Structure 1
Amino acid sequence: MRKPTVTKRHLPTSPFKAPTTPPCERFAVGNRVTHDVYGLGRVTGIEDGIAVLVDFGSQQVRITSPYTKMTNL
């Protein structure tokens, strides 16, 4: 069983900057992408906000959100 992710509250009086969440990357069918594990591929399908189907040549992989290891080219 996975533990729930706990985010700490940022105090407005803190001298440190508030942590920012990076924007979720958007993909479209036909986009060329690169993945840290699988390499270069092309998006073949999209499940809105849930997952992206990518063809890496030797295999098709369903990559779920957040897409931390994948970027658009």
Structure 2
Amino acid sequence: MTRTAAARHSLPTSPFKAQPVAAIETYEVGDRVSHDRHGLGRIVSVDGTAAVIVSFGEQRLRCASPFSKLVKL
């Protein structure tokens, strides 16, 4: 039986502490964002916490959660 990382427990003094789970950023229509590859953009559509559609000038890109390459400005 294999165990997932979320199910493992570590001692408080262990040097191999579990990585904290990052909170998923929430976006609203009109938010300005920066993308690692595409640069500056604006949120044009939000699909709950699952995905956002970002306009980078003439190009639109759907970014799925978790939004690791997006940074809210």
Query: Over aligned residue pairs, what C-alpha RMSD do you find?
Result: 1.6
State TM-score, norm by structure 2. 0.81
In the TM superposition, residue 14 of structure 1 has moved relative to its aligned partner by 5.0
Runs of 4+ off more than 4 Å: none
Q: Which runs of 5+ in 2 are unaligned?
A: none
- Evaluate the alpha carbon distance shift between residue 10 and residue 59 of structure 1 in structure 2; reply closer, same or farther with a 3 A threshold: same
SS at 2:5 equivalent: coil
State TM-score, norm by structure 1. 0.81
Judging by fraction of residues, say which structure has more helix. 2
In the TM superposition, residue 67 of structure 1 has moved relative to its aligned partner by 0.3
Counterpart for residue 41 of structure 2:
41
Q: Which runs of 5+ in 1 are unaligned?
A: 1-5
Counterpart for residue 12 of structure 1:
11
Identical pairs, percent: 38
Matches within 5 A, 1:22-61: 22-61=22-61
In the TM superposition, residue 23 of structure 1 has moved relative to its aligned partner by 1.0
